[in-house]
Structure formats: structure tokens, C-alpha cells
Amino acid sequence: MLFRDATLADGRVRDVRIEGESIAAVGTDLDATDESIDADGKLLLPGMIDAHVHFREPGFSHKETWTTGSKSAAAGGVTTVFDQPNTDPPTIDAESYNRKAELAAASLVEYAINGGVTDEWNPDELLAKPLGALGEVFLADSTGEMGIETDLFEDAIKRARDAGIPVTVHAEDATLFDESVRDRTDADAWSAYRTAEAEMRAIEHACGVAERLGSTVHIAHTSTPEGVDIAADAGMTCEVSPHHLFLSRDDLDELGTFGRMNPPLRSEDRRVGMFRRLVEGDIDIVATDHAPHTLEEKDASIWDTPSGVPGVETALPLLLEQARRGTISYERVRNVTATNVADIFGLESKGRIEEGFDADLVLVDPDASTDIRGTQLHSKCDWTPFEGRRGVFPELTTVRGMVVFCGGSFADHSGRNVRVWG
């Protein structure tokens, strides 16, 4: 396969030739192949590596499955996902890992399986498995009630350090939640309850533990500029989710309970600060925290509705729309969705359009901006918090040289566990 005259994120126009599963050459005037794609005027990017998804199997297949979630990923230009451990059963030992691995074989895209930490985990069994990462390790309860105490957190950090496995942390301190707002019923009550201070102090604690133990942690779904700064000052990495870049408490009148997630939406000023830090390079990666629930489940009171929103199909399109408008560069989009993610999580053959790298690619018409509609997305939950916003969606997505999505159609393809196949 040959992509002819594709524009790369840095503005260079190049031919990109694929042989088998890999990029064989990047250059000008490369010899044509049996299958050539005219990419003149199109943008060619490395596929997004989403380090934070909840594909819900096993246990919650009414919300999402590996089939529906991976189709949604491919249609959004995501070619690798890291699935989180808070399923039923949670991924905390060899048996639960093996069960999830059997289900993950249905994935259309590449994947990694993360391991969880609870009082019942079996670290010797779990850490012997090919984990994407340990975590997200929950410092406060979220979906799945996997919040843990400090002693267990420190033990998990030590064990992961010794095993050479990355650790991702859900950083909120439940002792700093504001119980005085529990009698409120408005949609903003959740943001008032799970305070910004609770996140900041938990990030400070997690980074301090990692520093003391000679290790590192990756902070998941950072929602406050102050939290980003704490992580950066400690030499740790962090991610931001699209909902904390594009939505704020100002949107809750419209979103209602569909805007509840953990950590919650913050003020508009903090949202602006997060986007600024993304553009300026203080935030390492974008990861979706794709956490689907059904319409019926979300249509409940603010205290009863489950936390989480879908996002794996809309993250890259939302960022590409901002690049089209000139508020962020295409190079920065490439880095926070692919290159930096590969570096942080040790995916040595992914995240770049260079000779010898996996042919995980996304072809985009950068001017093809369109409205985002939940009913047109491929997640099983059939809704989006970004309804009506603009996005630039891929025309074509390849995984290891195989076209898995093109023009609304999907190929019959099986992704691989990146920790097994490399």
C-alpha cells in the first residue's frame, strides 16, 4: 500500500509505503504499489493510542463490548487502547486477566489490559501477566468501588516498580469531598461535591509516594491546572480527557446528569487553563476515559446516575477541529495522541510515521468538519456529551497495515495484545 503525497503533522508532503504490517519507506516519488491511495491535500497521522478506556467487558456488556468499543475507536482514529481493570470481576489476578483476554480477542484494534489493585488482588499472579499498566489505581471510589488505602497504594507502587510496569493513578482524596452539598439536586452538585482541592491533594500525595519510593506514576484524567503543575513539578506524567478540555460547569445546565464523571467538570476558567497547558506542552497526553453508560442509566438523579461519558470516537476529531481552527498545532495533536503515549507506555514500534514503525495510520481531510451526533457514533451507548459540536473524523484507519475502517465500513480484523506481540 502506498499513500501518495500525504501531508504529515509537521507539514511535510511525503509518500508513505506500507509493506506487511510496517512502514517500509517515507519519502518523495516512491515507486507505486498495487494499492495506491491519493492523499493529496489529506493529513496522515499515526493512529491515536488511547491509554484510558473502559470497554466494560466482562460484566457490563449492556453498556459496551470489545466489538462495539473497538469499532468506535477505529472510526475515531484510535488504533490502540488500554482497558481499565474496574470490570466485573475486576482484573486483579490471573483468572480475571485470562477471562478479559479471551473477550479482548474480539477487538478490531490493538489493545493492552491493565491490572487493578484491591484488598483482594493477587499481585504475584497479576504482575506475571503481560499488563499494559497497573491501574488506574483508585485513591477514591469511582465506578466499581476500587478505592484503596495508602498502605496498599505504597505496596502496589513498590511491586510495579520492581516488575518494571507503569502505574496510572486516579487521584482524588475522598476526605476532601464536600458533604455539605449532599442535599442539593442540581447537576452542578457533583462538581461541588468532588472538589478541585480533593484532586490536587491526591496528586500531591501520589507523586510524593512515588518520589520517596524511587518510582514514577502517571496521573489519569487530570482536571485542574493546579494538578497538572503539581505532577509536572514532581517529574511525573499526566493526561487530560476531552471532557475536561471542551466542557465545564457552565455546560451542566444543558448536560444535566449526562455531565457527571469522576473527576467532575470544573469551572470555565480551569477548563481554559487546561487547554492552555495542553497547547504549551505541560500536559503529556490526551486519553479519553471512555466510560459508557446507557441512556436509561444516565437519566437519573445526580446522586444516582453512574459517573462517566463516552469519548473514544470523538477525541481525535475534536482535537483536529481545533487544529483546523488554528488553536493547536497538528504536531501537538500528534504528540499528545500518539508519540508521547508510545514513549510513556513503552510501545517502541508505535506512535510515529517513520520507517520500521507499525503501520497504524489515520487519513484525514483536514477541512471536512462536521457536526458530532451521538446516533451516528458506534459506541453501544448511543450518546455523546459533545452533541452538536464540530469534529474532523477520519476517512480511513489502518492497524498494522490493514484497513480496518474506511468510509463508514469496518473490516473483519482481530487486533493484538501489544504486550504480547510488541
Residues 16-52, buried b or exposed e (16+ Cβ, 10 A)? Answer: bbbeebebbbbeeebeeeeeebebeebbbbbbbbbbb
Residue 138 labelled as part of a binding site: no
Is residue 15 annotated as a catalytic residue, yes or no?
Answer: no
* Residue position matching grid coordinates 477487538: 107
CA dist., res. 388 & res. 408, Å (int): 19
Within 8 A by CB and 6+ apart from 180, the residues are none
Residue 289 labelled as part of a binding site: yes
CB 85 within 8 A of CB 97: no
Residue 55 labelled as part of a binding site: yes
Secondary structure class of 392 (helix, strand, coil): strand
Residue 170 labelled as part of a binding site: yes
CA dist., res. 145 & res. 66, Å (int): 22
C-alpha pair distances (Å), 70 with each of 66, 191, 345: 6, 30, 20
CB 33 within 8 A of CB 327: no
The string of DSSP letters for 214-252 reads: T---EE-S---HHHHHHHHHTT-EEEE-HHHHH--GGGH
Residues 202-212, buried b or exposed e (16+ Cβ, 10 A)? Answer: bbbbbbebbee
**Cell numbers found for residue 151:** 498502605
CA dist., res. 230 & res. 299, Å (int): 36
Residue 136 labelled as part of a binding site: yes
Q: What is the crossing angle of helices 196-212 and 150-163, to 10°? A: 50
* Residue position matching grid coordinates 456488556: 61
| Residue of 83, 251, 289, 358 marked catalytic | 289
Binding residues for substrate: 54-56, 86, 293
Report, as residue numbers or ranges, the catalytic residues.
289
Binding residues for Zn(2+): 52, 54, 136, 170, 221, 289
Binding residues: 52, 54-56, 86, 136, 170, 221, 289, 293
